[in-house]
Amino acid sequence: MSKQLEKNISGANIANITINGIWIFVNEKEYFLPYKEYPWFKEAQISEIQNVELLHENHLRWPELDIDLEIESLEHPEEYPMIYR
């Protein structure tokens, strides 16, 4: 089951939300954020996920969820180990 979304806010576009994660387009590149690696999104409301801002062309912010991600961390996750507790 998935929900196709088309919302463009500040250069970031949530393209799809699935049972496994989120697909996002940023600056003409596509990224997949699996819930396994980004568990903060799993229980979030669709409207909260859609409310994403692109700041300074390299910083994603979800203000309602208090989540910030650098584009670089999506392109090179091995260089940005995350610890979630």
pLDDT tens for each residue of 20-70: 999 999 988 999 999 999 999 999 999 999 999 999 889 999 999 999 999
What does the pLDDT read at residue 63? 97
Domains identified in the chain and CATH numbers: 2-79 (3.30.2020)
What does the pLDDT read at residue 45? 96
* Local structure of 6: helix, strand or coil: strand
Other CB atoms within 10 Å distance of the CB of residue 19: 9
Structure tokens belonging to residue 61:
């912010």
The pLDDT-based confidence of 76 (bands split at 50, 70, 90) is confident
Rounded Cα distance, 27 and 58, in Å: 9
What does the pLDDT read at residue 60? 96
How far, in Å, are 20, 59, 78 from residue 82 at the CA level? Answer: 18, 16, 9
